Amino acid sequence: RSVVVRAEAAETINPAVRKEEDKVVDSVVVSELSKPLTAYCRCWRSGTFPLCDGSHVKHNKATGDNVGPLLLKKHVS
Ligand code: FES
């Protein structure tokens, strides 16, 4: 017996970031990082998108979610 799962009405993940763009894409050349640590938002709620501003903490508390940033660390030899 097969089970068919239908997607509910599509919900957007991105509530407000750069909605005028068809697709939000950012790129970083890692060797050019100026700071030892840079945090990139993955919750789509940062006021400084694409950088994390800590807004994920409020989102996680309000929703029970567990999202956090992508951390880029400069290689130190
Ligand atoms: Fe979005 Fe931190 S504000 S991951």
* Tens-digit pLDDT string for the chain (77 aa): 666 665 555 677 888 888 899 988 887 777 777 888 999 999 999 999 999 999 999 999 998 888 999 999 887 77
C-beta neighbour count of 39 within 10 angstroms:
19
Closest CA to 72 of 18, 17, 29, 25: 29
Pocket of ligand 1 (CB under 6 A): 41-43, 45-46, 52-56, 67-69
- 37 forms beta bridges with 73
Separation of alpha carbons 39 and 53, rounded Å = 8
What pTM was computed for the model? 0.72
Q: What is the CA radius of gyration of the chain?
A: 17
User: Distance, CA 46 to ligand 1 centroid (Å)?
Assistant: 5
Q: Tell which atom from ligand 1 comes closest to the C-alpha of 40.
A: 4
Residue 74: active-site member: no
Query: Which pLDDT belongs to residue 51?
Result: 94
Closest CA to 16 of 46, 42, 36, 38: 46
